[in-house]
Amino acid sequence: MQKQCFKSNDDLIQGIEIILSNYRCSFSDEEQVLLKDCVNRLQNSNLKPDLQGRVTESVKVVEILIRIFSIYEHIKDLF
């Protein structure tokens, strides 16, 4: 996977969807559900009128992504 810089929620949504479609077999069912939850949260945050609501959802998404990919990197290093 190559590193990307995301400038908007829409870019991040697209990036997560690309990861899900290209690397689906690399993720457990639970991780796939979490990634889909990230997409849903980002889509919902785009609908929120207040900045605080959008920031809160974005922070939750970042927490989920860190959890998924830090575990992935740890497991990858074991093999």
User: Is residue 3 situated within a structural domain?
Assistant: no
Give the tens place of pLDDT for each residue, 55-64: 888 889 988 9
Using pLDDT thresholds of 50, 70 and 90, give the confidence band for residue 40. very high
Map residue 34 onto helix, strand or coil: helix
Q: What is the mean pLDDT of residues 43-51?
A: 84
Using pLDDT thresholds of 50, 70 and 90, give the confidence band for residue 28. confident
User: Is residue 59 situated within a structural domain?
Assistant: yes
User: Is residue 51 situated within a structural domain?
Assistant: yes
Q: How many Cβ atoms from other residues are within 10 Å of residue 63's Cβ?
A: 11
- Quick one: pLDDT at residue 51? 86
User: Is residue 5 situated within a structural domain?
Assistant: no
User: Is residue 36 situated within a structural domain?
Assistant: yes
User: Is residue 46 situated within a structural domain?
Assistant: yes
User: Is residue 14 situated within a structural domain?
Assistant: no
Q: Residue 28 — left, alpha, or beta (φ > 0 → left; ψ -120 to 50 → alpha)?
A: beta
CA distance 18 to 1: 11
User: Is residue 13 situated within a structural domain?
Assistant: no
Task: Specify the number of domains making up the chain.
Answer: 1
47: containing domain? 26-78
Mention every residue, 6+ apart, whose C-beta is less than 8 A from residue 10: 46
